[in-house]
Amino acid sequence: MQPDEARLDHMLSKLRERRQRITPQRLAILRILASGEGHPSVEGIYSIVVKDFPTTSLATVYKTITLLKDLGEVLELEFSQGSNRYDGSKPFPHPHVVCTMCKNIVDPDLQSLSAMTAEVSEQTGFKVNNHRLDFYGLCPQCQEGEG
Amino acid sequence: MQPDEARLDHMLSKLRERRQRITPQRLAILRILASGEGHPSVEGIYSIVVKDFPTTSLATVYKTITLLKDLGEVLELEFSQGSNRYDGSKPFPHPHVVCTMCKNIVDPDLQSLSAMTAEVSEQTGFKVNNHRLDFYGLCPQCQEGEG
DNA sequence: TTTTCTGCAAATGCTTTGCATGGGA
DNA sequence: TCCCATGCAAAGCATTTGCAGAAAA
């Protein structure tokens, strides 16, 4: 786990600003979210944190993530079947590519996104300020095991 | 409720093909989904069907929708908080533009979508076969009441 | 010392499932 | 008649909440 120190520091100062306490459990959760590795679920975060702090509960992970959402420091990717996933390194809307087999999530850098947003505005007259762009399919590894 | 007769007939023949029975409850649910009005939730469908068939249960609505999903005749829009919503008139993935104020939903026809899908595949190596593209913002009417 | 956080367990909300009865074909 | 569909109730899951004890500041 290699947390982005700048992201981590930013999150920590946001907590201090709001007079929120920096507990060992919260610090461990922040480190994972700031690492930028994957888009962990609550269960995934919990399974890592519990190694260092065996008494940690799922409820604490949920509460910490709710706090970070309120602070605008984590992006929640909702899934009605399966668990939600969280992105603490890029807490603003951006496209995701999800492998339906291994559940891995990748962030593409799409040149055509601004053009598409412009197309939406032009065609509908909407003032677009948020989006949820997910592409689903098979990642290169999972394609090999397929037909 | 003004069901698209062609859509309704198509759904009915799909059921018959699969030797599925056309019950009054199923017909009522199909009519709502084929109407193309809005993107109803299970609860919303249930509340309408139960007027004509007071013994109808939520389970039946869920089971019918699961069946229609398997037949590829309804699109499920997943929401982890709140209920899922369903689109029976365009049961294939397509972008939505959602007004965060009046909750109105528009289906844009985006020329740049195929280019973006190609960009995703090229950049990530994924074999993309599905997507969830939602844009959120203010519709023209709701922008007037704003700053 | 004060106030907040933690962690357990119970509660919640949506959805699914098991099973006996009812009803299409 | 023969199965399948219905509908009730219970179960399943991810998430939230209440509260007493623990621990930051």
Of the candidates A71, A68, A67, A27, the residue with the CA atom closest to the CA atom of residue A49: A27
Report if pTM > 0.85: yes
* Domain of residue B29, residue span: 5-87
Amino acid at B104: N
Residues B75 and B119 in one domain: no
| Contact state of A100 with B130 under an 8 Å Cβ cutoff | yes
Residues A10 and A78 in one domain: yes
Are A37 and A54 in a shared domain?
yes
Considering the domain architecture, whether residues A51 and A118 belong to the same structural domain is answered as no
Do A102 and A30 lie in one domain? The reply is: no
Span between the terminal Cα atoms of chain B, in Å: 37
Q: What pLDDT, on a 0 to 100 scale, did the predictor assign at position B147?
A: 62
How far is the C-alpha of B85 from the C-alpha of B65, rounded, in Å? 11
Verify that B48 and B104 share a domain, yes or no.
no
Q: Say yes or no: A64 and A130 in one domain.
A: no
pLDDT < 50 positions in chain B = none
Q: Are residues A41 and A78 in the same domain?
A: yes
B53 and B103 in one domain? no
B55: nearest nucleotide, CA–C1' criterion:
D7
B interface with A, Cβ–Cβ < 8 A, is 78-81, 84, 95, 97, 99-100, 106, 108-113, 115-117, 119-121, 123-140, 143
CATH number at residue A106: 3.30.1490.190
Protein residue with the closest CA to the C1' atom of nucleotide D3: B21
- Nearest CA of chain A to the CA of B21: how many Å? 28
Tell me whether residues B116 and A117 touch, CB distance under 8 A: no
What is the predicted pLDDT for the residue at B79?
82
Q: Are residues A68 and A106 in the same domain?
A: no
Closest by Cβ to B128, choosing from A113, A116, A135: A135
Q: What letter does residue A41 receive in the DSSP assignment?
A: B
Nucleotide nearest to B16 (CA to C1'): C25
Same domain, B71 and B127: no
Main-chain dihedrals φ then ψ at residue B4, nearest 5 degrees = -65, 110
The count of structural domains within chain A is 2
Query: CATH code at B9?
Result: 1.10.10.10
Chain A: nearest CA to B7, how far in angstroms? 26
With a cut of 50, list the residues of chain A below it in pLDDT.
none
